Structure formats: C-alpha cells, structure tokens
Amino acid sequence: MEAFLFCAPTEVRFGAGVLGELAEHIRGARRAGVVTGLKSAGASGLKARIEELLRDGGVEEVVFGSARSNPSCTDVDAVAARAREAGCELMIGVGGGSAMDTAKAAAVAATNPTPVAKLIKAVWPNRALPLLLIPTTAGTGSEVNQYAILTDEGKVAAGAAGDKVNLNGPDTFPYTALLDPELTVGLPRELTVDTGVDAFCHAVEGYISRRANPLADALALEAMGRIRHALPKVFDDPADVAARGEMLYAASVAGLVISQAGTTMVHALGYHLTLQHGVSHGRANAALIAHGLDFNYEAARAKIGRVYEIFGGGLDRSGVAALEAWLHGLGVVTTLSHYGVTPDELPTFNDYVMARRNTKASPRVVTPEQMLELLNQIL
C-alpha cells in the first residue's frame, strides 16, 4: 500500500435536535456573523432560533448575511465587509452549500481585507475566523471539507458571466459541524434530489479519482450504499426523518471523501451546465455521472464495476444500466439536449471541460477529440 495523507479536523455532532447544542460550540465569541440562504431560514423561523441560541450562549451581537445560489466573489466580499466592520470573532454558515461556502470564504476575507478573488490559490497572511457550519440540506458535504466553490465574475468561462473557482486552505475546514436531520425535513422534493445526487456524485467521483486513497475509498463505499437506499425513500416520503438522517450522514461522509480525493471530469462537465444553462449543481452532475463512469470504465474496471454492483448492476460494463435506472427513478434526465445544450456549443463545452483540473483527476487520460466524441454521444 502506498503512503497517503488523510486530514479531517472537523468535529462532527450528529443527531436529531443537535442544533440545541449550538451555544456549547461558540468558543466564547461575543460577536458572530451568520450566513443563511436568502429566504428559507427566515420564513421557517430558523434564523430567529439561531439568534436566540447564540444570545443564550453569550453572543452580544449577531450580524446576518445571506447567500444566493452559486454565490459570487462579490457576494462574499459584501458579507466579509459587514463581519469585519462589526468585529465578528466567529463565522457560522446555516443552510445548503451556497450558504456554507459563502460563510467559509467570508471567514477568510473578513481577516484578510482584500477582494476574495485575489485570495484564490494564494496564501493569505491572516488566519480565517473560526468557522462553524450547520447544513440544512443533505448534499454538498461542505460542512466537513475545506472547499468554498464560488463564481468569479472577473473570469469568463465559455461566454458565461463568470467561472467556478475554489477557495481552500488549512483554515477553511470548519472546527465543528452540527448535523441535525430535523433541519432537512420539509425540503422540497426537487431540491432533495438535487442535493442528494450531488452527495452521490461526490462519493463516486472521489472513489474513482486518481487522488483516491484507501481510507477515502472506504468512506466512499459507505456513502454510496447509504444513498442508494435512502434517497429513493426520501423521494417517496419527504417526511421520513430516519431516511433524512441517513442522507445527511451520507452527504457528510461523501464530503469527507472529496476533501481527500477531489472530483473528476463529471464535475467539470456539470459546471458548464450550471454556468451556461442554469442547471442546479447536483442535478448537472447527476445527469452526467453514468456517462462519465462508462467513459472511464476500461481505466478503472474494478472500482467502477463495484459502483455498478452497489446499485444493483453487474460488474461488467453493462452494469451502468442499473445506475441509469436508479437516476431515472429519481427524475434525473441524462441527455444534454434536455438541458438546452445544442450541437453548436459542443466545441466550446469541450474546451471548458478539458481545461479543468477535475478532468485530469479522472482515471482515463482523455484527449480533446475523445471528449468531444463523448459530448456528441450524450447530446
């Protein structure tokens, strides 16, 4: 076995009602910044409850910020400026991946007063604010990994108003994550699927990635097995709290997987669908995952065959049909034209995917000609 590094410093607290422990984890902060989604946290009463719990714990000032889907660097700069002006000593993200990623990046920018776009792939001089995350969706796994995925409007990606960038460093890992399944109950079915299949893709892509290691592989298999059974249950019965808990747990496990192994060409393909056609991140990945596995099969037969087996298929290449059936059962369409992709844009699509680092982590070494052929096949 080759040497490897596995670093997962986040304390994870899981259980129904664990949100009530919030005051125990604020580290004596007197001023806290809290990032939520645009509307849901306020409408559900969660925002008010968070503030009450923080004040009960001795926080004197709570500064709220909000995050839209696919948060931009400009959005983060605004939240960071408010936190800096208020003298926040702690940053808390409550919501889906967008809220948590905004909180992560704002925690860095709050102590390093420069546009966050300039901190991408840089070593920032000051440590980020301590970060505590509370997911309300079961998908991104952002609560346990170091990645903050943002849209940089200053970078043009194939004609889109911005490109996906990844802010990460040793202090973008949260120190604590509170995983309360009760917070995911009531999530609409479509959003439940979008986030759930994102977690699934994280587990699968991390498992087949060139950066995979044995410990991450074990976690990936655990996450895949849980998601295979739990996500259809939640799809059929959104009020199934037990299945919601299974999904929240599995999404965090999958988040640990990509914290070590990253993602592959599937995420690169998905980013184009999100940037150019407004497809949600998770669904964009799910639309392409079966095609990505089939494309890479010869380069990773044992691992990809194991994925097929988990989803009820055979170990050989034909096993992809079982995975596709599982996705279709969740309402995921797996052709590009369904999402508005046209033949004319395929060369640009191809250029974008080939330029992404994710693509290079795939098991198969791929040429631009092979990628373009794949895009034509799945149009």
Q: What is the CATH number of the domain that holds 217?
A: 1.20.1090.10
Q: Are residues 157 and 192 in the same domain?
A: no
Q: Are residues 247 and 320 in the same domain?
A: yes
Domain CATH code at residue 73: 3.40.50.1970
Q: Are residues 70 and 209 in the same domain?
A: no
* Those residues with Cβ within 8 angstroms of residue 136's Cβ, 6 or more apart along the chain or in another chain: 37, 40, 41, 46, 94, 95, 96, 183, 184, 187
- Asked if residue 4 belongs to a domain, the reply is no
How far is 379 from 256, CA to CA, in rounded Å? 32
Q: Are residues 166 and 237 in the same domain?
A: no
Per-residue pLDDT tens for 263-275?
Answer: 999 999 999 999 9
Check: CB of residue 31 under 8 Å from CB of residue 95. no
DSSP summary character for residue 141: -
Phi, then psi, of 150 in degrees rounded to 5: -125, 170
Q: What is the pLDDT of residue 40?
A: 76
Per-residue pLDDT tens for 184-230?
Answer: 998 899 999 999 999 999 999 999 999 999 999 999 999 999 999 99
Q: Are residues 107 and 248 in the same domain?
A: no
The structure tokens listed for 353 are 């995917």
Tell me the CA distances in angstroms from 114 to 31, 110, 233, 278, 371, one per residue in order. Answer: 21, 9, 45, 29, 38
Q: Are residues 287 and 176 in the same domain?
A: no
Query: 337: burial class by Cβ within 10 Å (0-12, 13-18, 19+)?
Result: exposed
Q: Are residues 241 and 318 in the same domain?
A: yes
Beta strands in the chain (DSSP E): 11-14, 31-37, 61-67, 90-95, 131-135, 148-152, 163-167, 176-179
Q: What is the pLDDT of residue 161?
A: 54
Q: Are residues 157 and 280 in the same domain?
A: no
- Asked if residue 131 belongs to a domain, the reply is yes
pLDDT in tens, the chain (379 residues): 778 888 889 999 999 999 999 999 998 899 999 999 877 777 788 999 999 999 999 999 999 988 988 899 999 999 999 999 999 999 999 999 999 999 999 999 999 999 999 999 889 999 999 999 999 999 999 999 999 999 988 765 555 556 889 999 989 999 999 999 999 998 899 999 999 999 999 999 999 999 999 999 999 999 999 999 999 999 999 999 999 999 999 999 999 999 999 999 999 999 999 999 999 999 999 999 999 999 999 999 999 999 999 999 999 999 999 999 999 999 999 999 999 999 999 999 999 999 999 999 999 999 999 999 999 999 9
Q: What is the pLDDT of residue 288?
A: 97
* Those residues with Cβ within 8 angstroms of residue 45's Cβ, 6 or more apart along the chain or in another chain: none
* Single residue among 183, 211, 237 that ends a domain in this structure: 183
- Asked if residue 1 belongs to a domain, the reply is no
Q: What is the pLDDT of residue 159?
A: 52
Check: CB of residue 258 under 8 Å from CB of residue 205. yes
Q: Are residues 175 and 258 in the same domain?
A: no
Q: Are residues 275 and 139 in the same domain?
A: no
Domains: count for the chain: 2
* Single residue among 148, 183, 218 that ends a domain in this structure: 183
Q: Are residues 165 and 190 in the same domain?
A: no
Q: Are residues 231 and 178 in the same domain?
A: no
The structure tokens listed for 291 are 């095609």
Q: What is the pLDDT of residue 2?
A: 79
Pairing of the two strands 11-14 and 176-179: parallel
Q: What is the pLDDT of residue 186?
A: 86
- Asked if residue 5 belongs to a domain, the reply is no
- Asked if residue 3 belongs to a domain, the reply is no
* Single residue among 183, 211, 229 that ends a domain in this structure: 183
Q: What is the pLDDT of residue 89?
A: 96
Range of the domain at 231: 186-377
Which residue(s) pair with 105 in the sheet? none
- Asked if residue 83 belongs to a domain, the reply is yes
- Asked if residue 315 belongs to a domain, the reply is yes
